[in-house]
Copies of this chain bind each other. A is one copy, B any other.
Amino acid sequence: MKKKITLKHIAKELDVSISTVSKALKNSEEIGRDTKEKIQAIAKLYNYRPNNIAISLKNKRTKNIGVIIPDIVHHFFTTVFRGIEKYANEKGYNVIVCVSDESFDKEVINMEMLANGSIDGFIMALSAETQMKNDFNHLKEVTEQGIPLVLFDRITDDVICDKVIINDEEAAYNAVKKLIESGKKRIALFTTENYLGVSSKRADGYFRALKDHKLETDENLVLELPFQFEKEDKSEAFFERYSFDAVLCVNEIFAIRAMRTAQRMGIKIPQELAIIGFTDGILSKLSSPSLTAVAQHGNRMGEIAAQMLIEKVESDQERESFRTEIIEATIIERESTIH
**Residues from 110 to 124 in A contacting B, C-beta threshold 8 Å:** 110, 112-118
Min C-beta distance of A4 to chain B, whole Å: 6
**Distance in angstroms between the alpha carbons of A62 and B288 in the assembled complex:** 48
Residue A191 at the chain B interface, CB threshold 8 Å? no
- Interface pair A145/B72, CB less than 8 Å apart: no
Which chain A residues in 269-293 approach chain B with CB under 8 Å? 282-283, 286-288
- Which single member of B75, B78, B89, B144 contacts A110 (CB below 8 Å)? B89
| CB-based nearest B residue for A47 | B141
Which of B49, B72, B256 meets A112, CB within 8 Å?
A: B49
Q: Is A94 an interface residue (CB 8 A)?
A: yes
Q: How many residues does chain A have at the interface if contact means C-beta atoms less than 8 Å apart?
A: 56
Q: Are A72 and B81 in contact (CB under 8 A)?
A: yes
Q: Which residues in chain A, 99-149, are within 8 Å of chain B measured between CB atoms?
A: 99, 110, 112-118, 141, 144-146
Q: Give how many copies assemble into the complex.
A: 2
CB pair B282 A263 closer than 8 Å? no
The chain B residue with its CB closest to the CB of A49 is B116
Inter-chain contacts of A286 with B (CB < 8 A) = 253, 256-257, 260, 283, 287
**Distance in Å: Cβ of A167 to nearest Cβ of chain B:** 24
A117–B3 alpha-carbon span in the complex (Å): 12
Cβ of A168: which chain B residues have Cβ within 8 Å of it?
none
Q: Are B1 and A145 closer than 8 Å at their CB atoms?
A: yes
Decide if A145 touches B3 in the complex (CB within 8 Å).
yes
A49: chain B residues at CB < 8 Å are: 112, 115-116
Task: Kindly list chain B residues whose C-beta atoms are within 8 Å of the C-beta of A114.
Answer: 94
Nearest to A118 among chain B residues (CB) is B52
- Docked-complex contact A97 and B95, CB < 8 angstroms: yes
Contact A2 B145 (CB under 8 A): yes
Binds B, one of A32-40, A53-61, A158-166, A194-202: A53-61
* Docked complex Cα distance between A186 and B205 (Å): 52
Query: Are A97 and B97 in contact, CB atoms less than 8 angstroms apart?
Result: yes
Is A82 an interface residue, CB under 8 A from the partner?
A: yes
Closest 9 CB pairs of A and B: A53-B117, A52-B117, A51-B117, A49-B116, A256-B286, A1-B146, A52-B116, A52-B118, A53-B56
Residues of A whose CB lies within 8 Å of any CB of B are 1-4, 47, 49-54, 56-57, 62, 64, 72-73, 75, 78-79, 81-82, 85-86, 89, 92, 94-99, 110, 112-118, 141, 144-146, 253, 256-257, 259-260, 263, 282-283, 286-288, 318
Please name 30 pairs of A and B residues whose Cβ atoms are closer than 8 Å in the assembled complex, sorted by A.
A1-B318, A2-B146, A4-B117, A4-B145, A49-B112, A52-B117, A52-B118, A53-B57, A53-B62, A54-B117, A72-B72, A72-B78, A72-B81, A72-B82, A73-B75, A73-B78, A73-B79, A82-B99, A86-B99, A89-B98, A89-B110, A94-B98, A94-B113, A94-B114, A94-B118, A95-B97, A97-B97, A259-B288, A260-B288, A283-B286
Known: A73-B79, A97-B97. 18 other contacts (CB 8 A): A3-B145, A3-B146, A51-B117, A52-B116, A52-B117, A53-B117, A54-B117, A72-B82, A73-B282, A82-B99, A85-B99, A86-B99, A94-B118, A96-B96, A253-B282, A256-B286, A259-B288, A288-B288
